[in-house]
Structure 1
Amino acid sequence: MKLREQINRISGLRYVTDELCIHSAAGRRCLMEQEWLTDKVAIEELLSRVDTAISFRSEIRKQRGIEEIAHKLTQLHDIKGTIQTLSHRTVCTDIDLFEVKYLAILNEDIRDLIRFYELEGISSPLPDLSHIVSVLDPEEKKIPHFYIYDAYSIKLKELRAQLKIETDEEKKSIIRNAGLEEEDVVRKQLSQHLSPHATSLETALEMLGALDLLLAKVELFVQLQWSRPRSAQQTTTLVGLVHPQVLCILGEKGDTFQPVDISIPKEPTLITGANMAGKSVLLQAVALAQTLYQYGFYVPAAKAEICPVDNVMLSLGDAQDIREGLSSYGAEMMYLSAIADEVKQGTTLLALVDEPARTTNPIEGEAIVGGLLSLLGKREVRALVTTHYGSIGIPCRRLKVRGFREDKVKLPLQVNALGKCVDYTLEEVSGNDVPREAIRIAEILGVNEDLMMECKQYLCNTRIA
């Protein structure tokens, strides 16, 4: 599963990738083609490269080397198509040969910088393309330009010399055509000579793109002060977790984002809280942190220990199927069905489900939530499920958003200020402890007194009954 397949599925992932200052198209392609990693060793290898690059920033000399390499990478062109042409033994054009020469020179320059500044830890050894440079740059000028040099053919050299001294236009035309034919012969010879090196050129292009991506990651992680996640065995633990895009939006408004601590063991966790309690954002932040980790990124948390999974399945009730005409309930149930199918197949999942069955009647809604928790519990699936339902009898771990804090209210309370009166801390609870804050919040907002009186009377009668 490539990152490009996740970019519109995981909230905040596009925001993160857009914030990366990647200099080259090859680096951007490398980002989008990153594979979803489940092997801890492979994930740790990527993260270790980031660790090494960050550690080099504390040494002035090595930091200078990294800056020089970053500047060089601004000149990296994505010539994957040209390399494929070369590998198919097709005769290259002058533009093709120029692109190959330019990549080979750039590769050698960056190899030299890595050796000179002792930066070997930021990349696997780049391939040696010095032979390609010597073939395409026989005059050893390292100029970003390609020309069919006289050195490639004695016959061509002689024809060009004749052309300079010939005065008869008809003869000049004959010499010129003969020279063009000889140039075609040289292009064919060069293409045949370089074709066996196509694999090395492709390796160099991919590694330089990966290096561009690595340096962009380092800049972003340092700037945002993200933390290096550790691979965990049993329980995922996220301390001081934030959603970076929401954090940015709130910051632009002068508001703050309250970081959240949460652990996710190998069992479902039921989370309750009022509508404004940030449950949806929490699930999105968890999904983003898990996804970033499995693509070798640091994560937006103060501390993170994460268990790798085969897939993250996030249901927020806003599936594409809804926009395609399927009812919200129908789309949601089909997604829950997909989760159940994955569980049945033995897929290691992180399931994140926001208020399932919220649009159906409470009796059946509670049955659906209970059935989902029971299924996930039997298969020991890591899951966070949020709900408003208060009679879920299935044994499971339960958390509650601490919720509305009346002591934080500044009257008159405006609707857009409600979030400032909420404590988003998660507390472990036992039993069906659901929030009962809605009517009191409505009263503080100044909702019609007669309506509030009727609501409270109805609630009182219901409790008595």
Structure 2
Amino acid sequence: MFLRSAIEEINGFRFMIDKLEIQSGLAKRVLNTLPYLRTPEAIAQELDKTEVMRNILQTSELTDTITKIKVKLMQVKDIRGTANRVTESQILDDIELFELKAFSLLVVEMRELLLSANITVITLPDLEPVVNMLDPEKMRIPHFYVYDAYSPELAALRTKMKTLKMDEKTEERVLDQLQFEHTELEDQIREKLSKQIHPYKKEINEALVNTATLDILLAKAQQTIDMQLCKPEISTSTTRYIKIFNPQVKEVLWQEGKKFQAIDIDIEQGACLITGANMAGKSVILKTVALAQTLFQFGFYVPAEQAKIALVDEILLCIGDEQSELSGLSSYASEMLRVNAIVQDVKAGKNALILIDELARTTNPTEGKAIVNAMLDFLTDQGARSLITSHYSGIKARCKKMRVKGFVKEHVQGQLTINNINEFIDYSLIEDTHDSVPQEAMRIARILGVDEELLDKAEEFLDDEEKKNRN
């Protein structure tokens, strides 16, 4: 999987990518082709480079150098098409030679800045020989034409043409012949230049890759500072987050003058059931865990105070039924097909992180509970690293059970409304040994001022149901 695919699949990942302060169009395109990393060595290398660059950004003596580099990066164009023609020994035209000269000048200037500041986390190859070929007049400006300096014969011909054009007696056929000779000479020079540049194909392509990498690395490092992200450790067993948070939700709440409550969570091999009332933030927990795992697998820092993360080959999600309407399937049918695909992947031995939100929520509670129990048992038996959320009571499967602490009435001060109710919900996870989920719906409805007669009637039905269950 490449980053562009993860942007479409993982909720909140696009937000993180859009927040990267990438300067060049080249780096933005390269970013989309970054691969999902599957080895601890590859991930560690990316995290270590980000850490080094983060330290550089926080070194005040280097601020001016970094600013100058960013200004240069803003001028970088994506000339990979031209680089391919160099590699293929094609004859370059004036536009391609201009692109190559402008890019090479920027690389030379950025290389000098990096060397002067002793920044070695990323290196740029020396393109000075390419610049010298394309800048025979040593003007060091991003401009190109076939200069007189390339050929005394060309210079003399141009002088002759200029003189004859000023003479009204000069015949048109004479000028045409001179123009033909001029074009031939220029073509010969372009061909010669292209052949001289070809041996530097490796350096040119390396410069493109490393320039994009430098741009991306600067943006990743800056994001770790701006969003207060942490460098995760690589785990071989339990995934553990201390104070994990969702950057997108946190920003939305901040704009509304509210705070996001970070939580702690451990994800072990085997199934974990997360219960809690509606509005308890269970879906946000799953989406945040998926986001953090994705960032980690692409070599990014993660939104938490501390994190220790186990690698997985894939993140298998069943969160929402956005695709059911497009496919013409019912919500339940769409969900069951997705669940079946997850089961088959687990049976095939895929090392995956499995996140399922409100499993079987769209069918009747009796069968829904049976499906949840069966899935939890299956995932526990398989040792599959998984989180499943549910608001069903009566889940007896063998698995770790956690519960969102939920609504804390004692914290309520003043009038409770739909706009401030989230302020009185404790989103932290606690271990839960009970089979039933907290029944908070009626209590919250009363506090919100829902019609008493309606709620009294609902309480009667609830009492009848509880009596039946006891009998």
TM-score range, shorter chain: over 0.9
Question: 2:308: which partner in 1?
Answer: 305
Question: 2:248: which partner in 1?
Answer: 245
Distance in 2, matches of 1:11 and 1:183, equals: 55
Question: 1:381: which partner in 2?
Answer: 384
Question: 2:21: which partner in 1?
Answer: 21
Distance in 1, matches of 2:324 and 2:345, equals: 19
Q: Name the CA shift for 1:184/1:340 in 2 (closer, same or farther; >3 Å).
A: same
Q: Answer yes or no: is 1:140 the counterpart of 2:138.
A: yes
Query: Normalising by the residue count of structure 2, what TM-score does the alignment of the two structures yield?
Result: 0.95
Question: 1:281: which partner in 2?
Answer: 284
Distance in 2, matches of 1:15 and 1:367, equals: 37
Q: Answer yes or no: is 1:425 the counterpart of 2:423.
A: no
Q: Which range moves more in the overlay, 405-414 or 203-212?
A: 405-414
Question: 1:317: which partner in 2?
Answer: 320
Q: Name the CA shift for 1:410/1:325 in 2 (closer, same or farther; >3 Å).
A: farther
Distance in 2, matches of 1:192 and 1:327, equals: 63
Q: Do 2:408 and 2:425's aligned partners in 1 also have CA atoms closer than 8 Å?
A: yes
Question: 1:162: which partner in 2?
Answer: 160
In the alignment, which of 189, 207, 218 is matched to residue 210 of structure 2? 207
Letter of the structure 1 residue corresponding to residue 148 of structure 2: D
CA deviation profile, 1:375-408 (whole Å, cap 9, x unmatched): 2112211111000111222110000000011112
> Where do residues 340-379 of structure 1 align in structure 2 (5 Å cutoff)?
340-379=343-382
Specify the SS of the correspondent of 1:424.
strand
Question: 1:80: which partner in 2?
Answer: 80
RMSD value, Cα = 1.5
Specify the SS of the correspondent of 2:16.
helix
Specify the SS of the correspondent of 2:141.
coil
In the alignment, which of 445, 448, 453 is matched to residue 445 of structure 1? 448
Distance in 1, matches of 2:196 and 2:384, equals: 56
Distance in 1, matches of 2:199 and 2:426, equals: 64
Specify the SS of the correspondent of 1:415.
coil
> Where do residues 263-278 of structure 1 align in structure 2 (5 Å cutoff)?
263-278=266-281
Distance in 1, matches of 2:386 and 2:357, equals: 11
Question: 1:34: which partner in 2?
Answer: 34
CA deviation profile, 1:340-375 (whole Å, cap 9, x unmatched): 122122111111100110010112111211121122
**CA positional deviation for 1:169:** 4.5
Question: 1:217: which partner in 2?
Answer: 220
The number of residue pairs the alignment matches comes to 463
Distance in 2, matches of 1:153 and 1:334, equals: 71
**CA positional deviation for 1:240:** 0.9
Q: Which range moves more in the overlay, 34-43 or 58-67?
A: 58-67
Question: 2:129: which partner in 1?
Answer: 131
Specify the SS of the correspondent of 2:47.
helix
Distance in 2, matches of 1:320 and 1:153, equals: 65
**CA positional deviation for 1:85:** 2.6
Q: Do 1:61 and 1:117's aligned partners in 2 also have CA atoms closer than 8 Å?
A: no
Q: Answer yes or no: is 1:12 the counterpart of 2:15.
A: no
Specify the SS of the correspondent of 1:416.
coil
Question: 2:147: which partner in 1?
Answer: 149
Query: Normalising by the residue count of structure 1, what TM-score does the alignment of the two structures yield?
Result: 0.96
Q: Quote the sequence identity (%).
A: 40
Letter of the structure 1 residue corresponding to residue 232 of structure 2: P
Q: Do 1:226 and 1:299's aligned partners in 2 also have CA atoms closer than 8 Å?
A: yes
Specify the SS of the correspondent of 1:247.
helix
Question: 2:111: which partner in 1?
Answer: 111
Q: Which range moves more in the overlay, 245-254 or 320-329?
A: 320-329
**CA positional deviation for 1:409:** 2.5
Distance in 2, matches of 1:322 and 1:351, equals: 23
Distance in 1, matches of 2:390 and 2:32, equals: 35
Q: Which range moves more in the overlay, 294-303 or 190-199?
A: 190-199
Letter of the structure 2 residue corresponding to residue 177 of structure 1: F
Q: Which range moves more in the overlay, 177-186 or 2-11?
A: 177-186
**CA positional deviation for 1:8:** 1.9
Q: Do 1:62 and 1:119's aligned partners in 2 also have CA atoms closer than 8 Å?
A: no
Question: 2:43: which partner in 1?
Answer: 43
Q: Do 2:242 and 2:264's aligned partners in 1 also have CA atoms closer than 8 Å?
A: yes
**CA positional deviation for 1:185:** 1.8
Residue ranges of structure 2 left out of the alignment (5+ in a row): none
Distance in 2, matches of 1:201 and 1:57, equals: 27
Distance in 2, matches of 1:431 and 1:21, equals: 47
